[in-house]
Amino acid sequence: MKKTQLHGRGMARPATIAIAVWMFALVMPAFGQKLDINKERVIQSGRPDGRHVSTRGFQQHLLRNAKPKLAFNPEFTSEEFEQWRSQVRAKLLELMNFPELVPQPPPHKLWTQEREGYVLEKWELYPEPGSVVPFLVLIPENATADKPAPAIMCIPGSSGTKENLAGEPPLAAFKPDDRNHDGWLHSERNQQAVQFARAGFVAVAVDHPGTGELSDLAKYRGSTMDDRSTLSRYLIDMGRNFIALSVFQKRQILTWLREQPHVDAQRVAVSGHSLGTEPLLVLAVLDPQIQGIVWNDYLAATLQRAKVSTMPNQRGVRPAANWLGHSIPGLWEWFDYPDLVAAFAPRPLIVTEGGPTHSLNLVRKAYQIAGASENVSIHYYPKYSDPADRRDGKPIPEGLNATEWLDHANVNAAHHYFKGYLAIPWLSRQFQLPEPSEDYPPAPPEAVQALQK
């Protein structure tokens, strides 16, 4: 009996079918009900009882009614504030779920190179079994065991690397950030560590997990970043998370840093730009020995951002959440970012890129309760330096897209870079260093005008 032959050209492959189904799903709104974006901007029940059939609608109900259990209360007394701050520290430590510390080899110096005005060293940290974390240290010429200098850990933005922080050439195959503003590359303005070293600080430059030298195959794509959402997902499934891993490593570097003879352990600060503010946030809450905090980003309630960012696009898709590396499971049950920043008080803090003024006022109130109003310095983007140009005094409405949220949050995203011209003179004053003779890179013209007002 002759067997029937089935030829591939007569049958669609499963992968082809899957792609076709996916593409059909994308264009389906064009063949189904017509989407009225303005009508769907705000998620509404449509039922007399106010309940939601859609799971996204129910999630919106949860966001609208969320009340973190350890939210900062502007009516705290000073005694209540201290008690609350201790509770916040304990709960955040619990959420980190750090692994147990296992004895490991001490950090090892790989090399030393002379630079103009400072020495550059490369070290390796061994934070836990199976892990190696390189970092760079910039030591000013005047930092000695007889005259120890203040120190600062510098944490980059999302795609930044420790090499760029230190003003060093990028590692092979990694493309530097080529965005620019007023003739200066953002990568030049973001060289935090070398700017601090020139001002007299011992500066430590670090990478984010899965980024730069800590990445896997990113170099073959000319990128500095791995697929960090997948990395984050696997960490979460193992009871850990991206931020906790980052903080676990950086806490150990800070411990080592304080032990160096040329470092004044009583004058140690942390500076974070963009994504770098998130490990900074946890480090500064958990480590009361950090005596200076440079928050180079805008500050806003992430719960509020999630609640108001609901405007769908033309395909009927609402704004996506940030990638998983921003997630600390359970965070919103207890507090939000402004609450945690409020817990920094009374230690010196500068916020260089503003945010919604109501969030910033919570932080100001915390410092007032702690009796340290003079220790917090808040600046807005030059575009929003005039209060008349801000969307202050009104609740941020639901139904925003990503661009509208930034506008309501007083954010000028094109000018998002490290504001060394604000941070370095401020921290120099806090740590009794001479103010830098010049800012490098200099403040852009509109920032100079805003500062002169």
**CATH code at 378?**
3.40.50.1820
Please indicate, yes or no, if residue 5 is contained in any of the structural domains. no
**Are 51 and 90 contained in the same domain?**
no
Residues 178 and 185 sit within 8 Å (Cβ to Cβ): yes
Residues 338 and 299 sit within 8 Å (Cβ to Cβ): yes
**Are 41 and 147 contained in the same domain?**
no
**Are 33 and 130 contained in the same domain?**
no
Q: What is the pLDDT of residue 23?
A: 55
Say what the pTM is: 0.91
Burial of 278 (0-12, 13-18, 19+ CB in 10 A): buried
Domain containing 31 equals 12-65
Please indicate, yes or no, if residue 1 is contained in any of the structural domains. no
**Are 200 and 262 contained in the same domain?**
yes
- Of 23, 44, 65, the residue at which a domain comes to its end is 65
Please indicate, yes or no, if residue 72 is contained in any of the structural domains. no
**Are 61 and 139 contained in the same domain?**
no
Please indicate, yes or no, if residue 37 is contained in any of the structural domains. yes
**Are 45 and 170 contained in the same domain?**
no
d(CA 291, CA 379): 20
**Are 182 and 285 contained in the same domain?**
yes
**Are 49 and 83 contained in the same domain?**
no
**Are 203 and 165 contained in the same domain?**
yes
Please indicate, yes or no, if residue 139 is contained in any of the structural domains. yes
Residues 192 and 418 sit within 8 Å (Cβ to Cβ): yes
**Are 38 and 156 contained in the same domain?**
no
Q: What is the pLDDT of residue 7?
A: 43
- Of 39, 65, 91, the residue at which a domain comes to its end is 65
Max distance between CA atoms of the chain, in angstroms, equals: 97
Question: In 66-217, which residue ranges form alpha helices assigned H by DSSP?
Answer: 78-96, 162-165, 186-189, 192-198
Please give the tally of structural domains in the chain.
Answer: 2
Secondary structure element (H or E) that encloses residue 136, with its range = strand 133-140
Q: Which residues of the chain have pLDDT under 50?
A: 1-11, 30
Please indicate, yes or no, if residue 71 is contained in any of the structural domains. no
d(CA 332, CA 68): 6
Q: What is the pLDDT of residue 2?
A: 43
**Are 37 and 101 contained in the same domain?**
no
d(CA 358, CA 365): 11
d(CA 225, CA 160): 9
Amino acid sitting at position 284: A
Please indicate, yes or no, if residue 2 is contained in any of the structural domains. no
Please indicate, yes or no, if residue 73 is contained in any of the structural domains. no
d(CA 96, CA 240): 7
**Are 241 and 303 contained in the same domain?**
yes
